[in-house]
Chain A
């Protein structure tokens, strides 16, 4: 298993540009989520999904969209990038939203918005 993969690893955007961060998992996990981590801070939840076709907002959803058309993929879209979105983005997946299942994290995407 490849686990949770994220692309790209690094990205530089100009203010106002849009882009999609890709996340995929090959473990047939039901639950997927996106976090952002600012320097020296803990992770904050952006959006999550409890199954294909179902998404919901986390703590900091503004400026981001998600969709979950398949079990494997959970892309995160930045609609109009702002410098405040400069951060490291982590995607995670877990067998189920319910139950004490561990989360598996991807390696992260480091995004800089100038």
Chain B
């Protein structure tokens, strides 16, 4: 499985944008980049995914580098509810399990 590297923790102020980085230098051409988050005492939930182009949805934006070796999850205005562990996962399209690393613990300060 291709590996991802994320910072252990990050802090943000409420109502400010947050950029969560993920490095995946060994990504293959068929790997999708998935982001999940896990709120305290809950199961993980889907945030966003992409292959090559930047993606937007109601929760976040995903910016993918042109060489696909890194990506950034963007929360446009952090709220206290966004405090969670964020996981960046690579998974190909042909049938692979999701492999969760330790993720980035995001703290949001009021």
Q: Identify the A interface with B (CB < 8 A).
A: 4, 33, 35, 41-45, 48, 50, 58, 90, 92, 97-100, 102-108
Interface stretch, picked from B10-18, B19-27, B39-47, is: B39-47
Q: A100 and B93 in contact (CB under 8 A), knowing A43-B100, A45-B99? A: yes
Q: Across the interface, do A100 and B34 meet the contact criterion of CB distance under 8 Å?
A: yes
Check if B44 sits within 8 Å of A90, measured CB to CB.
yes
Q: How far is the CA of A50 from the CA of B97 in the complex (A)?
A: 10
Complex Cα distance, B34 from A33, in Å, reads 17
Interface residue SS majority, chain A: strand
The docked-state distance in angstroms from the alpha carbon of A107 to that of B95 is: 25
Considering the complex, which residues of chain B in the window 42-73 have a beta carbon less than 8 Å from any beta carbon of chain A?
42-46, 49, 51
A-B contact pairs, 19 of them (CB 8 A): A41-B102, A42-B100, A42-B102, A42-B103, A43-B44, A44-B100, A50-B95, A97-B95, A98-B93, A98-B94, A100-B49, A100-B51, A100-B93, A102-B34, A103-B36, A105-B43, A107-B42, A108-B42, A108-B43
* 3 nearest A-B residue pairs (beta carbon): A105-B43, A102-B46, A43-B100
Task: Please tell me if B7 contacts chain A, counting CB pairs below 8 Å.
Answer: no
Main secondary structure of the interface of B (DSSP, over half): loop
Which residues of B, 86-107, contact A by the 8 Å Cβ criterion? 87, 91, 93-95, 97-103
What is the interface of chain B, defined by CB distance below 8 A to chain A? 32, 34, 36, 41-46, 49, 51, 87, 91, 93-95, 97-103
- CA–CA, A42 and B43, complex, Å: 11
| Contact for A42 among B32, B87, B94, B95, CB less than 8 A | B87
Complex partner residue of B100 from A35, A106, A108, CB under 8 angstroms: A35
